[in-house]
Each structure stands twice: as structure tokens, then as C-alpha cells.
Structure 1
Amino acid sequence: MNDILIFLPGIITAYSILIGACLSPGPAVMMLMGLATEQGRTKALTACAGIALGSVCINLLTLLGVGLLLSEVAWAMLILRLVGTGYLLYLAYGAFKKSFNPPPVTASKTQSHSLARCFSTGLLLQVTNPKAIAFWLAITSVGAVHNAGITITTVYVFGACIISFVCHGAWALMLSAETIRRLYSQFRRWVEACLGGFFVFVAAKMASS
């Protein structure tokens, strides 16, 4: 129990960054919205499962790579935090840019696929996305489970997987409805402005920690 409490603040911070990023829809959400609108919500949720598994793969690889790096190079954490801070500031810039000039929320056109194809599409979309890799490096730089045991690390990775699936699934299901899409477009600039401020806050906290 005490071990969990020690790592809990870092885990909460990492999850907050993940949720904040998921609140700003990108190509994956547009693809999922197209699947939900044109082929049904079951296929969209299947693709969400693929995206979540892709997140697990990147998360584990970054955790493993960072762990090996930190065990060999004492000042690596400082470099990693600077990289994470820089990427969070990049996310803040993107959010503020969308706030001033919100792009239209339009579903990507999709071809009819089987459930297996939908799952693999979501998985490949995630693991081949350079921004997703940079994003997970930024989250890893928080050091949420650095030096944690296998149990806490497993719970952390599983929790991140659930967050990825739920957030992407919620976007796909909500934005597949025209009424919700119009409502979101109306308030999107305020959502993005709040996200930009959140990313700046977390970046400043990371840089000064």
C-alpha cells in the first residue's frame, strides 16, 4: 500500500497528460468517427481496441528503453525531462493554434473492413505514428513508475490502456452524432484553450521538478 502511495502522484500526472491529449481529437479520432458513422459502432470500438493495444506496446517500449538508459547514464533523466517539457510545449502550441482557428470536425472516409481489419488498422495507426511515440516519451519523462516493481508497473500500463480505449471510444461514439459534432465545434476553441494552458502548466512543473 505504501509503495502505491509513493508512485501515485506521478501516475496521476501521467494519466492527466494522457487524458488531456485525448481531449484534442486528431487523425485517429477522425478515422474512428468515420468507422462509427459509416460502418457501425462495433467496428469503431474494435479499432479503438487496436489503438489501445498500440499504446501499450509503445508505453512498454518507452518504459523499457528509459529504464535501461537511466541505469547507464546518471544525467539521462534531466535530458528526458527537457525533451518531455519541449514536447508538452509543442502540444500547448498546437492547442492554442486550434483555439484561435479551430479546424472543421469531419470524419475520415473509410472502406468496409472486417473486425480483424479494423483492429489491425487501429494498431498500425498507433505504433507507426511518430507523434504517438514522442507523446509516450513525454509521459515517460514524468518518471511515474521509475524504479517501481512489476506489479505497480503492470497496473500503470493497464490503466493507461483503459484510458486510451475509453477516450478514443467516447470520441468516436459522440462525434458520430451530428448534433454532438455541432455542439463540440461551437465550444472547441475554449476546450483547446484550456488544454493549451494545462500543457503549459505541466511543462513548467516538469521543467522545475
Structure 2
Amino acid sequence: MQDLALYFPGILLAYTAFLLAIASPGPNILAVIGTSMSVGRASGIALALGVASGSFTWALLTVFGLSAILAAYASALLVIKIFGGTYLLWLAYKSFKSAASSHDIEAKELSGERHRPLGYFKRGYIIQMTNPKAALAWIAIISIGLQDGAPLSVGIAIVVGTFVMSIAIHVLYALAFSTPVMVRIYSRSRRVIQGVLGTFFALAGLRLLTSRS
């Protein structure tokens, strides 16, 4: 508990980065929304749980992978932070670009034949696990919370916390955005949301690149 309290600011920042990263609908979120609208909430929720489970798997692989690297090469933390900070700046650029664009979100059902809820869960998991951007995002998120000498329990705390948030938010998307009305409401505030996300990612990226620990 003392270790977690000591590294709590980094853990909280990692939570915030993850929360804001999924606040803006990407391809996976749009697939969840589209499935809920076209097929039904049960299928949308199943797809959402599959995506969340895939995200949890990536988080575990990232934590244990980075922990093993840091245990063998202490100097690797600097390289990881440079990579993570650079990726966050890239996300900031993408968010600002989206905020400046007039292009609206497009929620579409997944291509192919329709399945039972279990089938959508499997598709959600496979989609997330075969997404290379998910690995890059998790390296950035975990590197925010990992400081020099941080124990494995810090990484586990990040994984567990983000997994709970992932389930809650993905399911919320499936429930709330199962009607066209909610999609229109989000569209009206999309640019403001993207601007806020861009600002946070830029600040987090700069903080990570200038951090000494």
C-alpha cells in the first residue's frame, strides 16, 4: 500500500490518459455503437466486453514485458519514456486535427454475417488483439505510470484500474449510443471534446519527455 501511495500521482495520470483515450470514439468504439444500433444492445454489449478483454490482455502483456525489460536494463526506462511521450504528442496532433475537421463520426455495423452475442464477444477480442495501435497506446499509458524503481504492483494497479474503466465505458457506449439521438448529441460536442483531448495528450507527452524519473 505504501508503494502505491508513493506512485499514486503517476497511476492517476495513467488512468486519466486511458480514460480520455477512449472518450473519443475510434474504430472499435464506432463498431460497438454501430452494432448496438443495427443489431441490438445485447450484441453491442458483447462486442464491447470483447474489446475490453482484448485491452486487458494488451495491458498485461505490456506491464510484464516492460517490467522484464526494466529488470534487465535499467537504462531502458529513458527509451520507453521517449517513445511514450512521442506517441502521446502524436495522439495530440490527431486530436487537434480531428477537432479542426468538419467530418462527423460514422458508426457502422461490422461487416460480415451477424452472430450471437458470444460471437460478437470473440470478434471484439480478436479486433482489439490484432490492432497494432493498441500495443503502442498501452506502452504510452504504462510508461506514464512507471517511474524509476517502481515495483510491479504499480503496473498491476494500472492494469486492474483501467480494465474496470474499460468495461464500464465500453458497455456505456453500447447502452447510451444504441439510439441515433445520442450519436447526434455527441456529434455536436465532438470538436470541443477532441480539443480537450489534444491538450491533455500534448501536456502528458511533454511531461513524460521532460520527466527525470
Global fold match (TM > 0.5): yes
Change (3 A) 1:153 1:194: closer
Q: What's the counterpart of residue 12 of structure 1?
A: 12
Structure 1 contact 18–139 (Cα < 8 Å) conserved? yes
Matches of residues 155-170 of structure 1 in structure 2 within 5 Å?
Answer: 155-170=157-172
User: Which deviates more, 180-189 or 103-112?
Assistant: 103-112
Q: How many angstroms does 1:85 deviate by?
A: 0.6
Q: How many angstroms does 1:46 deviate by?
A: 1.3
Matches of residues 1-209 of structure 1 in structure 2 within 5 Å?
Answer: 1-110=1-110, 111-144=113-146, 147-150=150-153, 153-209=155-211
**2:184 aligned partner, one-letter code:** R
The superposition leaves residues 63-89 of structure 1 with CA deviations (integer Å, 9 ceiling, x where unpaired) of 111111112222211100000011101
Aligned length: 208
**1:199 aligned partner, one-letter code:** F
Structure 1 contact 30–108 (Cα < 8 Å) conserved? yes
Corresponding residue SS for 2:105: coil
Structure 2 length as normaliser, TM-score? 0.91
Structure 2 contact 63–156 (Cα < 8 Å) conserved? no
Equivalent-residue separation in structure 1 for 2:49 and 2:179 (angstroms): 21
Structure 2 contact 58–135 (Cα < 8 Å) conserved? yes
Equivalent-residue separation in structure 2 for 1:90 and 1:154 (angstroms): 26
Structure 1 contact 84–138 (Cα < 8 Å) conserved? yes
Give the unaligned 5+ runs of structure 2.
none
Q: How many angstroms does 1:149 deviate by?
A: 4.8
Structure 2 contact 36–178 (Cα < 8 Å) conserved? yes
Q: How many angstroms does 1:155 deviate by?
A: 4.0
Between the two proteins, what is the percent identity of the paired residues?
33
Structure 2 contact 40–178 (Cα < 8 Å) conserved? no
**1:133 aligned partner, one-letter code:** A
Structure 1 contact 36–44 (Cα < 8 Å) conserved? yes
Corresponding residue SS for 2:144: coil
Change (3 A) 1:18 1:73: same
The superposition leaves residues 33-72 of structure 1 with CA deviations (integer Å, 9 ceiling, x where unpaired) of 1211122111111111111111111111111111111122
Corresponding residue SS for 2:137: helix
Q: For the aligned residues, what is the CA RMSD?
A: 1.7
Q: How many angstroms does 1:102 deviate by?
A: 4.0
Q: How many angstroms does 1:174 deviate by?
A: 2.4
User: Which deviates more, 159-168 or 171-180?
Assistant: 171-180
**1:163 aligned partner, one-letter code:** M
The superposition leaves residues 74-107 of structure 1 with CA deviations (integer Å, 9 ceiling, x where unpaired) of 2211100000011101110110011000432222
Structure 2 contact 145–158 (Cα < 8 Å) conserved? no
Corresponding residue SS for 2:109: coil
